């Protein structure tokens, strides 16, 4: 009979308490979740601020972005060509990115691969 009661207890779906490691209580979970939500909201705010500082450009038909970094440097990226550089000024970052995009294009050519399609293929006149 004792074997039946143990098996019946497991079948009921109730988790066995783990000795030495008490689970969080309702209040602890609430505080923990609120703290995590606050962290995530701060990250979102920081990202929104960074996106607001983004400066879009077109470089050889590819869309690039330049961001001022907190340390005073500038980060320039060209996602389509998988290139990015960080330099001390906006002009240096764009010049460095131009070189990086050119290097990627040369590497594609050496391997006989086609370049990714350009993001901008013609000018729109207003």
From 70, 67, 64, select the one nearest 83 (Cα to Cα).
64
Residue 79 CA to residue 54 CA, distance in Å, equals: 14
pLDDT of residue 57: 87
In this prediction, residues 102-109 reach a mean pLDDT of: 94
Give the pLDDT confidence of 46-81 residue by residue, as tens digits: 878 777 778 888 888 899 999 888 888 999 999 999
Which whole-number Å values give the CA distances from 82 to 27, 45, 93, in the listed order?
Answer: 46, 26, 15
Q: What are the structural domain ranges in the chain?
A: 54-117
Q: Is the pLDDT of residue 84 over 80?
A: yes
Q: Is the pLDDT of residue 5 over 50?
A: no
Spell out the residues 6+ positions from residue 67 whose beta carbon is closer than 8 angstroms to its own.
Answer: 50, 53, 54, 55, 74, 75, 76
Identify the architecture of domain 54-117 in CATH.
Answer: 2-Layer Sandwich (3.30)
Most confident of 5-9, 15-19, 32-36: 32-36
In this prediction, residues 97-101 reach a mean pLDDT of: 96
Long-range residue pairs from 88-91, CB within 8 A, at least 24 positions apart, any chain? 90/55, 90/66
């Amino acid at each position: 009979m004792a074997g039946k009661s143990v098996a019946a207890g497991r079948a009921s779906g109730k988790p066995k308490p783990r000795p030495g490691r008490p689970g969080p209580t309702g209040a602890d979970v609430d505080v923990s979740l609120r703290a995590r939500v606050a962290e995530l909201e701060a990250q979102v705010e920081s990202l929104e601020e960074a996106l607001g500082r983004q400066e879009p450009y077109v470089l050889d038909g590819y869309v690039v972005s330049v961001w001022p970094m907190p340390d005073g440097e500038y980060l320039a990226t060209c996602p389509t060509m998988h290139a990015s550089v960080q330099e001390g000024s906006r002009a240096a970052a764009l010049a460095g990115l131009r070189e990086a995009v050119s290097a990627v294009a040369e590497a594609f050519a050496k391997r006989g691969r086609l370049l990714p399609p350009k993001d901008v293929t013609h000018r729109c006149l207003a």
